[in-house]
Amino acid sequence: MSRGAGRLCVGLALALLVASVVARPAQAQEVVFSPQATQACLAATPTDSACISQSAEQCMQATPAGQTTYGMTECLWAEYKFWDARLNAAYQQLLRQQETAESDAKTYGYSELPRVAPLRDMQRAWIAFRDAKCDFERAQWGSGTGGGPAMAGCLLQTTAEQALYLAMMAQDY
């Protein structure tokens, strides 16, 4: 390697290192997420869709990092995980209820339509719908930085709506 090429490689490596350090402070600032606002809303109104995104909004307002696209995405993603856990718990509860109903029908000899398979089919179709919907929302930003928050926001909203639906179905059973 010639001396000039060596300097060029070192220069490029140094430029990349400086760029990564300069770009890092906004991302290194931690966002402050707590699910308390959403939990308090749900405690008062367990099936209210107005509860969706309350904690993410507080997270975005809590620190300057929450105002960046990276921070917005982190806040939205954190609340998405909260709702995803609620969705999975509601689905498991509803699945157990449907399994019991099917078993009872067989045990006591009465005729009933299957319940478990339609629930699984519905949830699988919903997952495909959610993914396609959020991919479409992300695509509206092209290669822009708003795509991250758009995708996270879509996943949050769509997952929370399904979690509320499944919880309502399990509660009504």
Domain boundaries, the chain: 1-29, 31-172
Architecture of domain 31-172: Up-down Bundle (1.20)
Global pTM reads: 0.80
pLDDT 10s digits, 39-68: 999 999 998 999 999 999 999 999 888 999
Give tens-digit pLDDT for 80-124: 999 999 999 999 999 999 999 999 999 999 888 899 999 999 999
Integer Cα distance of 64 and 48 in angstroms: 29
Go through 58-74 and write b for each residue having 16 or more CB atoms within 10 A of its CB, e for each that does not: bbbebeebbebbbbbbb
